[in-house]
Amino acid sequence: MIISKTCGYGIRGVVYLATKLEEDRKVGIHEIATELEIPQHFLAKILQELVRKKVIHSVKGPHGGFYVKELVLGMPVLDIVEMIDGDGYKTRCFMAIEECSSENPCPLHRDFFVFRSGIVKMLKQKTIGELSKGVFEGQSFLSYRLN
Amino acid sequence: MIISKTCGYGIRGVVYLATKLEEDRKVGIHEIATELEIPQHFLAKILQELVRKKVIHSVKGPHGGFYVKELVLGMPVLDIVEMIDGDGYKTRCFMAIEECSSENPCPLHRDFFVFRSGIVKMLKQKTIGELSKGVFEGQSFLSYRLN
DNA sequence: AGATAAAAAGACCTTTATATCCTTTTTATG
DNA sequence: CATAAAAAGGATATAAAGGTCTTTTTATCT
For the residues of A10-77, what is the DSSP string, one character each? HHHHHHHHHHTGGG---B-HHHHHHHHT--HHHHHHHHHHHHHTTSSEEE-STT-EEE--GGGGG-BH
- Reported as a pLDDT band with limits 50, 70 and 90, residue A146 is low
- Reported as a pLDDT band with limits 50, 70 and 90, residue A143 is very high
SS3 content of chain B, % helix, strand, coil (to 5): 60, 5, 35
Nucleotides of D under 7 A from a protein CB: 4-10, 17-22, 25-29
Alpha-carbon distance of B94 to B91, in angstroms, equals 9
In angstroms, the separation between the Cα of residue A20 and the nearest Cα of chain B is 16
What's the rounded mean pLDDT across residues B57-85?
97
- Reported as a pLDDT band with limits 50, 70 and 90, residue B146 is low
- Reported as a pLDDT band with limits 50, 70 and 90, residue B144 is confident
Nucleotides of C under 7 A from a protein CB: 4-11, 17-22, 25-29
- The CA-based diameter of chain B, rounded to the nearest angstrom, is 57
Does the pLDDT value for residue B143 go beyond 90?
yes
Does the pLDDT value for residue B59 go beyond 70?
yes
Q: What is the pLDDT of residue A122?
A: 98
Q: So where are chain A's domains?
A: 5-137
**pTM recorded for the entire structure:** 0.95
Of B5, B107, B126, the CB nearest to A134: B107
Q: Which CATH number fits domain B5-137: 3.90.1150.10, 3.40.190.10, 1.10.287.3510, 1.10.10.10?
A: 1.10.10.10
- Reported as a pLDDT band with limits 50, 70 and 90, residue B48 is very high
pLDDT, tens only, A47-96? 999 999 999 999 999 999 999 999 999 999 999 999 999 999 989 999 99
Rg (CA), chain B: 17
